[in-house]
Amino acid sequence: MSKTIYMMLLTAVLIGGIGLYSILGQAQDDPAEPTNLAQQQLDQMLEKYKGKVIYLDFWASWCVPCRNSFPWMTTMQEKYQDRGFQVITINLDVDKTFAEDFLKDYPAKFPIIYDPSGKVGEHYQLKGMPSSFVIGRDGSVVANQVGFFEDKVDEYEAKIVEILSLETVEP
């Protein structure tokens, strides 16, 4: 192989490598990247509902207990929204169509954020599915639970009522 052809190939490889590095670097910092998008959406929701008691629930279509928690969350949302209660859920399915199919059978009357990368879930250090966090009016996590058990729904609701009663609504 001649020196000229060798130099042309080496140049092409270097330029291609730099281009690939540039593309990969941009993908990591792209604000539209799903990981960042899910966190941005959550931040916007938390800001929108600031001053309310928020029930933040992480779920996935394959989660059997989630089939029972969705109707319960809808009931809680409807029952306590006038007292400053808001449900927000984060779906962790890698493929959004799985979540969409789930929602045909278990419709939601509350916001859903899609986090296919699971980065928001990592931030909350999930230990099982579903995982739920009650965020007080001041923005801090005041309660959490792993799993959803139908024989504990009265206990779950009592905790929500307690938190709603303890915290006053800001004018």
Mean pLDDT of the chain: 82
pLDDT, tens only, 31-74: 444 457 888 999 999 999 999 999 999 999 999 999 999 999 99
Segment 137-144 shows an average pLDDT of 93
Is 116:85 a contact under the CB 8 Å cutoff?
Answer: no
What gap in Å lies between CA 44 and CA 151, rounded to an integer?
A: 34
What gap in Å lies between CA 8 and CA 13, rounded to an integer?
A: 9
Which among 57, 63, 73 is positioned nearest to 132, based on CA atoms?
57
Q: pTM score, two decimals?
A: 0.77
Is 51:82 a contact under the CB 8 Å cutoff?
Answer: no
What gap in Å lies between CA 91 and CA 112, rounded to an integer?
A: 7
- 131-135 and 85-91 beta bridge pairing: unpaired
Residue 36 has which token pair?
């960042």
Segment 136-163 shows an average pLDDT of 95
pLDDT, tens only, 91-125: 999 999 999 999 999 999 999 999 999 999 998 99
pLDDT, tens only, 4-38: 443 443 333 333 333 333 333 333 444 444 457 88
Handedness of CA 100, 102, 107, 109 (dihedral sign): negative
Q: What is the pLDDT of residue 166?
A: 81
Residue with tokens 């923005």: 139
Handedness of CA 52, 56, 61, 67 (dihedral sign): negative
* pLDDT band with cut points at 50, 70 and 90 for residue 168: low
Give the dihedral of Cα atoms 58, 149, 77, 92; nearest 10 deg: 10
